[in-house]
Copies of this chain bind each other. A is one copy, B any other.
Amino acid sequence: MSEIATQLAGAVGAGNLLTGDAISDDYAHDEALSTPVQKPAYVAKPATAEEVSALLKIAAAEGIPVTARGSGSGLSAAARPVEGGLVVSFERMNSVLEIDDGNHVAVVQPGVTLAELDAKTAEHGLTYPVYPGELSASVGGTVGTNAGGMRAIRYGITRGNVSGLQAVLATGEIVRTGGRMSKISSGYDLTQLIIGSEGTLALVTEVIVKLQPRLPHSATVLAPFDDFEQVMAAVPKIAASGLAPQILEYIDNMTMAAMVYNDKLELGVPAEIRDRTQAYLAVALENRVADRLGEDVEALGELLTELGAIDAYVLEGGAARKLIEAREKAFWNAKAAGADDVIDVVVPRTAMPQFLAKARELAMATGGGAIGCGHAGDGNVHLAIFCKDPDTRAQLLTDIFGYAYELGGAISGEHGLGRTKTKYYAKLEDPAKLDLLRRVKESFDPAGILNPGVLFAQTGK
C-alpha cells in the first residue's frame, strides 16, 4: 500500500478504502453520455464529517484531486474522477437523521436517495417536493447539481428547498450553514453558494431539506396541439390561471412516440389525433380536497381547448403515473436510441419556440437531429442530440449554447456543467464573471483540489 493510501485508510478504516483493481468500473463514470471513463486512484467511503475532514486534509497536503460521489446518476460527469484522484463516495452516509414535524424539515445525510427520503417523509404526511426524474439520485448529488425536475413549476428547485448544510471545506474545517428556518439575513448565504457548485467548493456532509404537506389528490391532463407555438403560448396562460400546476411539461411528437412504444402507454389519444399532433402538454394538478381537484381539472380542460389544444384527456391514476414515469425515463429512451449527448438548456420560457426551432435547424444541418421534451413552465429544454462526429458535435453544441446565451439563457437548467459542458461555459460566459467566479473558488479551495476541471476549464493541472 502506498504511503498516501495508508494515510487515507487511516482516515476511514482500511475496509473503507479501495485502490487499484479493487475499484469497480462504477466509480469511473456517472450517466453522462459523452465523456470517457476514468478510474480514480482511491475510493474512500467515510461515515462521518470528521472522516471527510481527515480525507480532505490529506488530499490538500498531498495535492490529490477530490471528486464527491453520490449515486452516480448525474448527466454531466461532475462525478467522473480525475486520473490519480480520490473519490469520496457517500454511500455509507445514507441515513435520514430526523424528520422534524414541527419545523417541517428533514435532516439527512448526503447518500440518502430521493426514493428513501420520500418513503420516510410519507410516514409523516409530508413530502420533499424536488422531483428530478431519477429517484435513485442521492440528496447530496441533487445539492451538487441544484437539481430541478418536473415539480419545479410549483415547488421550485433544490436551491429553494434546502435551508441548511453541514459541509467540509477543502482546508478540512467543518462548517454549518443556514438552519431549520427558511429565513435568514445574517451574512452571505453559504448554503446557496454551495448548492449547485458541483463539488468544487466544499463536500456536503448533511442537508436540511424543507418539507411540504403531501396533498392527497392529483390528476394529470394530456393535451395534444397541432402547433408548437400554440403549446408555448399556452404556458404563461396556464401559469397565470391560479390553477397552480404541479407539473407542466411539453413532449414533442417523436419523444411521445418513443415513450408510448417503449413504455406501452395507453393514453387514449386516437390515432388520427396523434398523427396531426406536433407536441403535447402534460399538466398535473393536486389538491387537498377531491372535489376541488375535479373542478380544477374541468377548468384546466376548458382553458387548454380555448388555448388551441386539439382535445384534453384526463388520465386516470394508473395511466397518469405511467406517463410521468415514462417522462422520467426519457433520458434512457434517448440513450437506447443512440443519442450522442443530452443537454438541458434553459431559456426564458417565451423564447422556447425560437430556441427549439434553431436547435433543430442546427442539428439537422450537421446531418443529425435534436428531439426532446422539457419543463415548459421553466424554459428548461431537454434535447437528445444525435451527431456522431465529436468535432462536429462540439461545434453544434457551441452554436446551440451560444444561441441560448443570445436569448438570455444558460447552458444547463438542472444537470450542471460537469466535465461535459464546462468547456462551452469557459468559451461563452462573460470573462469578468468567470474571473470573479474563479476568485470565489480560490477563496474556498486555495489548493484547487476539489473537482478540478468542473466549472473551470483546467489550466495545466
Bound Cα distance A135, B9 (Å):
59
Segment 248-301 of A: residues with Cβ below 8 Å from B: 288, 292
Identify A439's interface contact among B350, B429, B436, B443, CB under 8 A: B443
Mask, A378-395, CB within 8 Å of B = 1, is: 111000000000000000
Contact A103 to B213, CB < 8 A, known contacts A157-B182, A175-B430, A413-B183: no
Mask, A417-461, CB within 8 Å of B = 1, is: 100010001000110110011011111100000000001000000
Q: Which residues of B contact A308 (CB under 8 A)?
A: none
Q: Looking at the complex, which of A65-73, A189-197, A363-371 is the stretch in contact with chain B?
A: A189-197
Bound Cα distance A409, B101 (Å):
17
Secondary structure dominating the interface of A: loop
Contact A187 to B425, CB < 8 A, known contacts A181-B413, A192-B192, A432-B175: yes
Shortest Cβ distance from residue A12 to the other chain B in the assembled complex, whole angstroms: 22
Identify A189's interface contact among B192, B436, B441, CB under 8 A: B192
Segment 124-176 of A: residues with Cβ below 8 Å from B: 125-126, 145-148, 152, 156-157, 159-160, 169, 173, 175-176
Identify A183's interface contact among B100, B157, B421, CB under 8 A: B157
Q: Is A13 an interface residue (CB 8 A)?
A: no
A190 touches B410 (CB 8 A): no
Bound Cα distance A442, B346 (Å):
31
* Best-surrounded residue of A125, A241, A379, A414 (most CB of chain B within 10 A): A379
B183 touches A378 (CB 8 A): yes
Output the nearest chain B residue to A147 by Cβ-Cβ distance.
B185
A348 touches B179 (CB 8 A): yes
Q: Is A375 an interface residue (CB 8 A)?
A: yes
Q: Is A411 an interface residue (CB 8 A)?
A: yes
B126 touches A240 (CB 8 A): yes
Q: Which residues of B contact A455 (CB under 8 A)?
A: 187-188
* Best-surrounded residue of A169, A378, A436 (most CB of chain B within 10 A): A436
Q: Which residues of B contact A36 (CB under 8 A)?
A: none
Bound Cα distance A437, B408 (Å):
30
Q: Is A242 an interface residue (CB 8 A)?
A: yes
Shortest Cβ distance from residue A356 to the other chain B in the assembled complex, whole angstroms: 15
Q: Is A335 an interface residue (CB 8 A)?
A: no
Bound Cα distance A442, B188 (Å):
13
Count A-side interface residues using an 8 Å CB cutoff: 83
Identify A182's interface contact among B156, B184, B192, CB under 8 A: B156
B380 touches A183 (CB 8 A): yes
* Best-surrounded residue of A183, A197, A288, A415 (most CB of chain B within 10 A): A183
Q: Is A349 an interface residue (CB 8 A)?
A: yes
Identify A213's interface contact among B213, B240, B379, CB under 8 A: B240
Bound Cα distance A19, B71 (Å):
60
B152 touches A240 (CB 8 A): no
Q: Is A215 an interface residue (CB 8 A)?
A: yes
* Best-surrounded residue of A173, A177, A179, A409 (most CB of chain B within 10 A): A179
B104 touches A239 (CB 8 A): yes
A432 touches B173 (CB 8 A): yes
Q: Is A347 an interface residue (CB 8 A)?
A: yes
Output the nearest chain B residue to A288 by Cβ-Cβ distance.
B242
Bound Cα distance A293, B433 (Å):
47
B125 touches A240 (CB 8 A): yes
Give 28 pairs: A residue, B residue, CB < 8 Å, sorted on A: A102-B236, A103-B348, A103-B349, A104-B236, A104-B240, A146-B185, A148-B183, A169-B432, A173-B432, A179-B348, A179-B408, A179-B409, A179-B410, A181-B349, A181-B409, A183-B379, A183-B414, A184-B412, A184-B413, A185-B410, A186-B411, A188-B197, A188-B440, A190-B436, A190-B437, A215-B242, A292-B292, A440-B443
CB-CB nearest 8 A-B residue pairs? A439-B443, A102-B350, A192-B192, A242-B288, A180-B348, A173-B432, A186-B410, A146-B185
